[in-house]
Structure 1
Amino acid sequence: MRPSLIALSLNPANIKSVAVIGAGPVGAGLTKALLNERHFDKVQVFEKRGGFGGLWNYTKPLLKHTGVTSCPKVPCESPHETIKPVVHDKHGSVFQTAVYKYLDTNVPKYLMEYEKFPFPASAPLFPTRDQVLEYLISYSKPIENHVKFNSEIVGLKYNDKSAKYELSSQNVLNGDLETSEFDAIAVATGFYDLPYVPDRPGLKQWHEKFPQSISHAKDFDCPEDFADVEGEIIIVGNSASGSDLAFELATTLKRKIYKSKRSESSLPSGYDSNIIEVSDVEAFDPDTKTVKFVNGEKVANVDKIIFCTGYLKSLPFLPQTAKPGEVGNKVLSSLITNGSRIHGLYDHILPINLPTLGIIGLPKYVLPTRLSETQGAWLARVWSGRINLPSEETMTKYDQWFIEKNGPNGKYHDLNFPMDVEYSQRLNKEIRNAGNGGYFGVEWTSDQIKLRSSIKPLKEAYLAYLKDTGKRAMTVEELESAGYFQWPQDAITSVEVPEFVP
C-alpha cells in the first residue's frame, strides 16, 4: 500500500518547531524528552492553568460554594461539550480538577517516579495529593522557560500546502487570542476533564426536578459535605473513584453507602461493612425518588447520586468538520466520534495518516508519569528521524490488532497489567535501538514488575492499616512486619514482550 501524502510529509528535516499542549504530569515528561533530543529549534508549551501539576491541582475549596458543577449537562454523553473555567475574585480563572481533600494515590510511590527523580523520603508508600503536586512542580521546574501559562488552546487546523499547523490560543485572564504556526503538535492534555454521565430512563427528569442531587466524581471533595444528607446516597461506578468515594463516605459518616456496579474491578478498594453493593442502574423514578437496578432491586428515598463513570475522550480544539480538499483537517476531525476512544492511531500515539500530531498519555491503567517519558522519548526520536515508522499498511494492521484484543470502543486504550509493561518495554526497545543521546524513560525491573502485579492487595493492606492505626505506612516492609500484607504467591517478576507480526 502506498503511503498517504500526509504520511510522506513526515520529514525530520522539516520538523523544527513543536507545540506541546499541556504542562501537567504528562506534558512535563514529554517536554523534557523533546528538549533532550536536541533536534528542534523551538519547543513551546501551552498550559491553561497558572502553574504546573495539571489535574493534581486542588481547586475544590475555591469552587465549593459557587454552585458550579463539572457536568456541562446531565446526561453527558457528547465528547464535544466544553468545560469553561470559573472566574474567581482572587484567583482569576480556575479549572476544576478531580482531586479531592483526602485523596492519596492508588499506586505506590516507587512506580509513580520519573526516571532518576525519586519521591522525598518523607512521602508515605501511597503519597497524598499535596505531596504528589509538590513532586510534580519540582520535576517540572526546569522546563518553566518553555511554558506559556494561562494559555488555553481553542483551535487547531492543518494546512495541507505548507504541511504546518495553525494553533489558536486564548489568554484565560484577559481573553486575548493568538495564532501560531508549528511543524508538529504534541497533545498532553490528559483525558480526565469532561465527565461521562450515561443516560438512563428518568435521569434527565430527575436532574430537572432535583438538580443538586446529581453530581460526578469530579465534583466530590470530602465526606463531611454529605454529613447532613438524610436520604440514601448512591455511588454509580465500581472503578477507582467509585471505590474510593464509597470507602471515604462509609468510613467517615458511619452510614450505608450504596455502590452500583456492572462488573468486578481489578483495582484496589477499601472494605467497610457499610458499603452495600448493588447491580447496574436500570432507571430513575423522580416521582418517588427511587432508583431501580437491573436485577430488580430498588433503593427509595435517594437524596444524592454520585456518578463515578469516568470521562469522555475529548479534545475540543480539534475541528469537527473539514472543508472539501482539506485532507489534514479531515484526519483531525475523524479522531474523536463518540468519545469512547481516539480512532486511527498507531501505538496509541500517532494518527496513521497524520504522524506530525502526537497524543501522549492516552492509554488507561498505566503509570502515566513514567510512561510520558517513554512515549515522549519515542516520539522525539520519530520526529528527529532516529526511529523510522513502518508502512501505513503495517500501522493500520497494528490498529486492527488492538481492536481485536480490546474491542473497538471504550476498552481500546486499556492496557491492563501486564499489557502496560509490555507496551512500555516495546517502546523502550525501539528507543535503545535508536542509539545513544536523547532522553530515556524508566526500564521495568523484576522488583518493579513484582510490585506492579501486587498493587491491589498492597493498597488494600495499606487502607486497612491506616483505618486500624491511623498511620500511613512508609514502606512495604512496614505493612509486612505489622501483619497486614504478604506477597501474593502468584506475583509476577518478569514480562515477555511480544513482537507484533503484521
Structure 2
Amino acid sequence: MTVSSPKYRRVAIIGGGPAGLAAAKALGLEPTKFERVDLFERKENIGGLWYYTGKTTEAYPPVPSVDPNVGDVFETSDHREKYFSPMYKNLETNIVSSVMEYHNFPFPKGTSTFPTRNEVFEYLENYSKTIPSDVNIKVNSNVLSLTKKDGVWEVVVENFATLEISKQYYDGIVLANGHFDVPYIPKVGGLKDWNEKKPGSITHAKYFDEAKLFDNQNVLIIGNSASGIDISTQLSIKAKKVYVSSRDKSQVADIINYEVTNIGMITKYDFDDDRSVTTVDGQRFNGIDSVIFCTGYLYSLPFLKSYLTGDDAIITDGSKIHYLDKQIFYIPDPSLAFIAIPKFIIPMPLSESQAAVVARVFSGRLTLASETELRDEYSKEIEQKGNGSEFHFLKFPADVEYCRSLQSWVDENGLGKTGSQAPVWDEAKYKDREETADIKAKRLLKIVEHANKLRESGEDFRLLTE
C-alpha cells in the first residue's frame, strides 16, 4: 500500500533504550516520511537501563511497594540524580549475543557469549548511529506530562541541561520507557514495621550495586529469578550468610550453591524478635541484617495524564497495561503505541518487530481493524491469558511465535520489502533461542565455582571471563 502523507504527521518517542531506538529507526526508515520524529530520553545518553553510571544516589523503595504511582524515596532534591539504571556493577546478560541482535546488526567479534552490560551499551550506541539523521534524538529531556487535547498530544518536557520547560505537540506517541522503574515489594506481615525501625534494610534488586556493600551481613533474598540467583551468588562471597526465599523452583536454573541456603516463602517479618522471618512451612531464621527483593517491577506511566480513569483506564494496579491490541496499540486511541511491554522476551529483536508494525500503522500503510473487532480480539486474549500480569508473558516459544505473527501481518499486506526490517526467526535463530536457557544454566554452574574461589581467596566479586 502506498500513501502520499502519513496518518500521524508528528511522532514522539518516549525512551531512548533498546525499544525507543528500534522505534526511532523504524519511523525514520518509513518510505512515507513523517513531518517530525522526536525521541525524548531523560538521561544524558541513550541506552536506557543499559546506560549505567553507578549508584551514586541514596535511594530506597517504599515498603511495601504496590502502587505504580509511588516512586523511590530519595535523599537528594536534584531531579537529575533520581534517574539511575537498575543495572549493577558486575552484570552479564542471560541471553546469548547471537539471539539478542537487531536485524543485520551483529555484535562485534570478540563479544562475550553472554555480553556484559558495557558490551550491550556499546552495541546500542553503535546501533543508534544507524538511525536516519532526520530523527531528532533529544537527551536530557524528561517528559513531565503527556495529555491528549482536542485530538492532539501535548508533551511537556523539562530540559535537564537548561532547566527550561517546553510544550510540544504530536499526532502519534510511542511509549518505549520500559518497565524497570517502580519496584514491586508485596505486602507481608511485619515488613512495613521492620522498614520503619531500620530504614534502608529492606531494599530491591533495582538498588543493588555490588556485594562488598553487604560485607559480613546476614542477607535474605526474596525471589529466585535470574536476578535472585545472580545477586545471591555475588553476595555469597562477602556476606556472612545468604538465604534465598522462593515459592517455587527457579525457572532459570537449578543451581546448587552450598554458600546459599534456600528456604520457603516468607509469611512473617518480626524485627523485634531478633530480626527474624518465618516461612510458610513454619521455619524461623533470625539475625537478618538486610532483605533484598528480587520480585520484579510494576508497570508505571507517571507522565501520562489521559486515559487513566473509567472503564478504559490504561493502567490501574500496575500489573498490566490494559486494552492493548497485539501488545502494542491502545485500542480506544491507537495513536498511542507501546514497544517492549511483554515480559520474558528478547528486547532487541522483539522491539524491531513491534517497531516495524508501528511505523507502518502510523504512516497509514498498514491498517488496524475496527475498534469493535479489536475489542473482541482483546476479550478473547483475556479469556486465554487472564487479566493480570500473565497477560504480558511471552515465554519461549510464545515470543518467537509472536514476532513471526507480526512479520506475517506485514508480509501479507505486501509491505515486507520497504521500510524497516525485523530479525527473521529462521531455524538457526530459533534453535539458538531454544538452547539459551541450557547454555546459561551451565554458565551459572561455572560462575558459582568462580565465586567460591573468590571467597576462599578473600577477593571481591568480578565477572568470570570466558
TM-score by length of 2: 0.90
User: How many residues in Structure 1 have an aligned counterpart in Structure 2?
Assistant: 446
Question: 1:337: how far off?
Answer: 0.2
Residue 249 (structure 1) shift: 1.5
Q: Give the match for residue 15 of structure 2.
A: 22
3-state DSSP of counterpart to 2:290:
strand
Aligned residue number for residue 396 of structure 1: 375
Shift in CA distance, 272/12, structure 1 to aligned 2, threshold 3 Å: farther
Matched, 1:312 2:293: no
Cα distance in 2 for partners of 1:164, 1:146 equals: 20
> Counterpart of 2:279 in structure 1: which amino acid?
F
| 1: CA distance, partners of 2:448 / 2:260 | 15
Q: Which one of the candidate residues 95, 107, 110 is aligned to 2:98?
A: 110
Contact between 2:219 and 2:239, CA under 8 Å: does it hold in 1? Answer: no
Partner of 2:418: 437
Matched with 1:456 is: 437
Mapping for residues 380-395 of structure 1, pairs under 5 Å: 380-395=359-374
Write the distance in 2 (CA, Å) between the matches of 1:473 and 1:392: 52
Whether contact under 8 Å (2:340, 2:351) holds in the other structure is yes
Report if the CA contact (8 A) 1:350-1:358 is conserved.
Answer: yes
Native 8 Å contact 1:125 1:472 kept in 2: no
C-alpha separation in 2, matches of 1:269 and 1:23: 35
Any conservation in 2 of the 1:25–1:53 contact (CA below 8 Å)? yes
Partner residue of 2:460?
A: none
**Equivalent in the alignment of 2:110:** 122
Confirm whether residue 277 of structure 1 aligns to residue 265 of structure 2: no
The counterpart of 1:206, out of the listed 189, 194, 198, is: 194
Secondary structure at the residue paired with 1:118? Answer: coil
Structure 1 vs Structure 2 CA RMSD: 2.4
Partner of 1:344: 323
Contact 2:7–2:363 (CA under 8 A) maintained in structure 1: no
Q: Which residue of 2 aligns with 1:55?
A: 49
Q: Specify whether residues 254 and 74 from structure 1 end up closer, same or farther in structure 2 by C-alpha distance, changes over 3 A only.
A: closer
d(CA) in 2 for partners of 1:212 and 1:92?
22
Contact 1:22–1:46 (CA under 8 A) maintained in structure 2? yes
Asked whether the 8 Å contact 1:48–1:151 carries over to 2, the reply is yes
- Of 218, 234, 237, which residue of structure 2 is paired with 1:248? 234
Matched AA of 1:379? V
For residues 415 and 400 of structure 1, do their structure 2 counterparts lie closer, same or farther at Cα, with a shift above 3 Å needed?
same
Closer, same or farther in 2 for the Cα pair 1:14/1:446, shift >3 Å? closer
Q: CA 1:431–1:85 in structure 2 vs 1: closer, same or farther (change >3 Å)?
A: farther
Q: 1:12 to 1:409 in 2, by over 3 A?
A: farther
Partner of 2:68: 79
Identical positions, percent: 35
Per-residue displacement from partner, 1:150-175 (whole Å, max 9, x unpaired)?
A: 1111111112x3x2111111123443
Aligned-pair distance for 1:461?
A: 1.0
For residue 37 of structure 2, the aligned residue among 43, 51, 56 is 43
Distance in 1 (alpha carbons) for counterparts of 2:312 and 2:385: 23
Q: For 2:123 and 2:101, locate their aligned partners in 1 and report how far apart those are by CA, in whole Å.
A: 9
Match of 2:281 in 1: 295
Structure 1: how far apart are the matches of 2:320 and 2:29? 30
Matches of 1:166 and 1:227, distance apart in 2: 49
Does structure 2 retain, via aligned residues, the 8 Å contact 1:62–1:88?
no
Farther-moved stretch of structure 1 (53-62 vs 77-86): 77-86
Match of 2:144 in 1: 154
Question: What displacement does 1:405 show?
Answer: 2.6
- In the TM superposition, what is the alpha-carbon distance from 1:38 to its structure 2 partner? 3.1
Aligned ranges for residues 225-244 of structure 1 at < 5 Å? 225-229=213-217, 232-244=218-230
Local SS of the residue matching 1:131: helix
Residue 333 of structure 2 aligns to a residue whose secondary structure is coil
Change in CA separation of 1:131 and 1:271 when aligned onto 2, cut-off 3 Å: farther
Inter-CA distance 12–342: structure 2 relative to 1 (3 Å threshold): farther
Q: Shift of the alpha carbon at 1:192?
A: 0.5
CA 1:444–1:419 in 2, change beyond 3 Å: closer, same or farther?
Answer: same
Partner of 2:400: 421
Deviation at 1:398?
2.3
**Is contact 2:55-2:207 (8 Å) kept?**
no
Give the match's secondary structure for 2:269.
strand
What SS does structure 1 have at the residue aligned with 2:289?
strand
Q: Tell me what 2:153 maps to.
A: 165
AA partner of residue 215 (structure 2):
A
- For the Cα contact (< 8 Å) 2:222–2:292, is it kept in 1? yes
Matched, 1:409 2:402: no
Listed one character per residue, the Cα deviations across residues 100-149 of structure 1 (whole Å, up to 9, x for unaligned) are 11100000001111111111111111011111111111111344761111
- Tell me, yes or no, if the aligned pair for 1:465 and 1:473 is still in contact at 8 Å: no
Whole-angstrom distance in 2 between the partners of 1:429 and 1:214: 47
Q: Structure 1 length normalisation: TM-score?
A: 0.84
- Equivalent residue, structure 2, for 1:139: 127
Partner of residue 368 from structure 1, selected from 347, 370, 377: 347
SS at 1:302 equivalent = coil
User: 2 CA distance for matches of 1:96 and 1:253?
Assistant: 25
SS of the aligned residue for 1:282 comes to: strand
1:186 maps onto 2:174 in alignment: yes
Q: What SS does the aligned partner of 1:200 have?
A: coil
For residues 122 and 332 of structure 1, the distance between their equivalents in structure 2, rounded to whole angstroms, comes to: 52
Structure 1's unaligned 5+ residue stretches are 1-10, 323-327, 475-502
> Residues 427 and 14 (structure 1 numbering): CA distance in 2 closer, same or farther, change over 3 Å?
closer
- In 2: Cα distance, 1:42 partner to 1:362 partner: 25
Say if 1:12 and 1:391 are closer, same or farther in 2 by CA, change over 3 A. farther
Q: Which runs of 5+ in 2 are unaligned?
A: 454-462
